[in-house]
Amino acid sequence: MKEFATQYASDLHSQNGEDGIIAEVLKRIKRRKGVAVEFGGADGFYCSNTAALRSKGWKVHMYDLEAAPPYVEAKRITTDNINELPECDVLSIDVDGPDLELWQAHTGAPDLVIIEINSSLAPMVHRYSPEWGASYIAMLELGIAKNYFLLCHTGNMLFVHNRHREKFPDIEGDGVGNHEKYFNTRWL
């Protein structure tokens, strides 16, 4: 929800407050393994959703098309190899296009998924293309089908697995019928 994002947002390395939101989620759910996977990792810091976790003792696996030692390994993540990635508590997908189909192909169930959408599309317009990305509603439907609830939209969508739903009593509705409480319109 917008209120959740506003209340907890802060950036160390992230772009839109995700570092603070992630910290609050992990505080509430109590981490399982302390492993994060991010692809679209750039240099390992800039606009990263997981770099801040490294300083907290997490094992962070970052991938991008080009290596950026020592933190980012060169690897093209596809629907064919996504399930070869390490099992993780936090998964961040930011590849500027086929994000939806990558998450759809992923068989793991991390506690938290941060995933980029095309926020320039109206929230209830159902669209997806590997070149332009997914709309809010297209990604939300996938998240619900994968047993997640939407926490907030920052430009990315942050989903928490339903096994932790009771730890988030401040989250109202599902983001479908009350999308105006979730969708940040600054991107339109």
DSSP label at residue 134: E
**pLDDT, tens digit, 9 for 90 and up, residues 98-150:** 999 999 999 999 999 999 999 999 999 999 999 999 999 999 999 999 999 99
pLDDT at 101: 98
pLDDT (0 to 100) of residue 137: 98
Read off the pLDDT of each residue in 72-88 and give the average, rounded to a whole number: 97
Query: Is the predicted pLDDT of residue 13 greater than 90, yes or no?
Result: yes
Domain spans of the chain?
A: 2-187
Query: Which is it for strands 59-64 and 72-74: parallel, antiparallel or unpaired?
Result: parallel
CATH 3.40.50 for domain 2-187, yes or no, is yes
pLDDT value of position 33: 82
Q: What is the pLDDT of residues 25-44, one digit of tens each?
A: 999 998 678 999 999 878 99
Q: What is the Cα 174 distance to its own chain's centre?
A: 17
% of the chain surpassing 90 pLDDT: 94
